Amino acid sequence: MELADILTKDQILTDLQAADRWQAIDELINNLVATGKIQPQHRESIAAVVKKRETSMSTGIGFGIGIPHASTDLIPEVVGALGRSKKGINFDALDNQPVNFVMLFLVPQGQFQKHLHTLANIAKILHKAEFRQALEKAPDAEAMLKAIKDQGKK
């Protein structure tokens, strides 16, 4: 599963307001509710699962990237939302640096291989400095989505 397969321009937040990883997770989950990817009544349960996973070990993987993720039986397919923070977010990242990109994704319960594959693809694409620069420079969500789709073709 590629990043371009799970994002629409409506699921890209170009200016996260969050100051820390918990606020960032809430902001992205709110986006998934607003875009109809998560049922409103499941919001709290899903947020709790993601935060529980994040508590066990930060998903701040370095290079200004955070990838909070979880499995849940409350969704029928893989869903995600991408947020960009211009000021940086304290994510307790492995390199102790602030995070500028937060890619939250959820995988249906029991799809362990898909979960690992999606996580690996997202980490691989976001590790590319030129790709992160393209996302940083993109003026809007549409331009960010185009950069993501272009990267998927490489």
How far, in Å, CA of 78 to CA of 100, rounded?
A: 23
Structure tokens at 110: 């029991």
Global pTM value = 0.94
CATH number for the domain including 57? 3.40.930.10
Q: What is the mean pLDDT of residues 86-91?
A: 94
Which tens digit of pLDDT belongs to each residue from 20-36? 999 999 999 999 999 99
Domain count, the chain: 1
Which tens digit of pLDDT belongs to each residue from 111-136? 889 888 888 989 899 999 999 999 99
> What's the pLDDT score for residue 97?
93
- Contact between 21 and 66 (Cβ < 8 Å): yes
Domain extent for 145: 3-152
Distance of CA 133 to the CA centre of its chain: 17
Is a pLDDT exceeding 90 seen at residue 143? yes
